[in-house]
Chains A and B, each alone.
Chain A
Amino acid sequence: GESVGLHLPTLSVQEGDNSIINCAYSNSASDYFIWYKQESGKGPQFIIDIRSNMDKRQGQRVTVLLNKTVKHLSLQIAATQPGDSAVYFCAETNQAGTALIFGKGTTLSVSS
C-alpha cells in the first residue's frame, strides 16, 4: 500500500541554522510530492512541491530534494527563523493521482 513517513518526529535548531527535514516514501510509482507546514491550531499550508522528473527545486529559503533511487525526500530550510517553528509534512499523490497521502510529520522547534 501507499505510505509516506518521516525519519524523525522532532527537530530542534538554533535561529540562523539550516534545517533539514527528511521523508521516506514507499510507492515507487509516485510522481508528485509536496511539503506542507502546519502551525498550531491551523490547517496545513503549502510550502513547495516537486515532480518525479526533477531531483531538486528551490523556493524562497526552502529547497526540496528528491532521490528516487532510495525513495527519499528532504526539505531544507535556510537561515531558520522562529516563525519556521511548526509541524512539517511531506505528502504524495495516491496511485490514482486524485488525492494526497500525508506522512506523520516532523515538529521543528527553533530557539533564539
Chain B
Amino acid sequence: DAGITQSPRYKITETGRQVTLMCHQTWSHSYMFWYRQDLGHGLRLIYYSAAADITDKGEVPDGYVVSRSKTENFPLTLESATRSQTSVYFCASSPDTLSGNTIYFGEGSWLTVV
C-alpha cells in the first residue's frame, strides 16, 4: 500500500526556473492539500482541492499553480522559482470528511532555490 507519495524528495533549482512537485495518493481521497513548512512559520496552506477539477487558494498561494485533472494526482508548480520559495513542501490527502485522523501527509519534498 503506497499511500501518499511525493516526488522529487529533494530538489535544487535556480531562480527563475519552473519546478513541479508531484503528489500521488492511492486511496481515491477527495481532498488534497499542499503545505509549505519554514522555520518560524510552521505549516502554511498553499492550495487545496476538494475534488478533481476543483482547487482553492490557501494562506500563501502567490507564486504557485496547481491542477487536479485526476483524483489521485495533485501537482504543485512554481512557475518562476524564487529564493523565498526554498522550503519543505508537504502534500496531504483526506477522504470526504475533514477529520484529523484521516488526513495523511506525505514525507515531504525539500526544495532549495539558489
- B contacts with A, residue count (CB < 8 A): 25
> Is A98 part of the binding interface, using a Cβ–Cβ cutoff of 8 Å?
yes
Give chain A interface residues in 5-39, CB to chain B under 8 Å.
32, 34-36
Given A43-B107, A44-B105, do A102 and B43 touch, yes or no (CB 8 Å)?
A: yes
Given A104-B41, A104-B42, do A99 and B105 touch, yes or no (CB 8 Å)?
A: no
The residues of B that contact A32 with a CB separation of less than 8 Å are 98-100
B107–A101 contact, CB under 8 A? no
- Shortest C-beta distance, B60 to chain A (Å), equals 11
B108–A43 contact, CB under 8 A? yes
The residues of B that contact A79 with a CB separation of less than 8 Å are none
> Is B59 part of the binding interface, using a Cβ–Cβ cutoff of 8 Å?
yes
**A48–B41 alpha-carbon span in the complex (Å):** 22
- Shortest C-beta distance, A108 to chain B (Å), equals 15
> Is B56 part of the binding interface, using a Cβ–Cβ cutoff of 8 Å?
yes
Partner of A102, one of B44, B48, B56: B44
Given A98-B50, A102-B43, A104-B41, do A49 and B105 touch, yes or no (CB 8 Å)?
A: no
A49–B101 contact, CB under 8 A? yes
A99–B101 contact, CB under 8 A? no
Given A43-B90, A46-B101, A49-B101, do A98 and B44 touch, yes or no (CB 8 Å)?
A: no
The residues of A that contact B33 with a CB separation of less than 8 Å are 99-100
> Is A83 part of the binding interface, using a Cβ–Cβ cutoff of 8 Å?
no
The residues of A that contact B35 with a CB separation of less than 8 Å are 102
Given A34-B100, A44-B43, A104-B41, do A98 and B105 touch, yes or no (CB 8 Å)?
A: no
Interface mask (A71-112 → B, CB under 8 Å = 1, otherwise 0): 000000000000000000101011001111111110000000
Which A residues contact B (CB, under 8 angstroms)?
A: 32, 34-36, 41-46, 48-49, 89, 91, 93-94, 97-105
Given A102-B44, A104-B41, 6 new contacts (CB under 8 A): A43-B105, A43-B107, A44-B105, A99-B45, A99-B56, A105-B42
9 A-B contacts (beta carbon < 8 Å): A46-B100, A49-B100, A89-B42, A97-B98, A99-B31, A100-B103, A102-B35, A102-B42, A102-B43
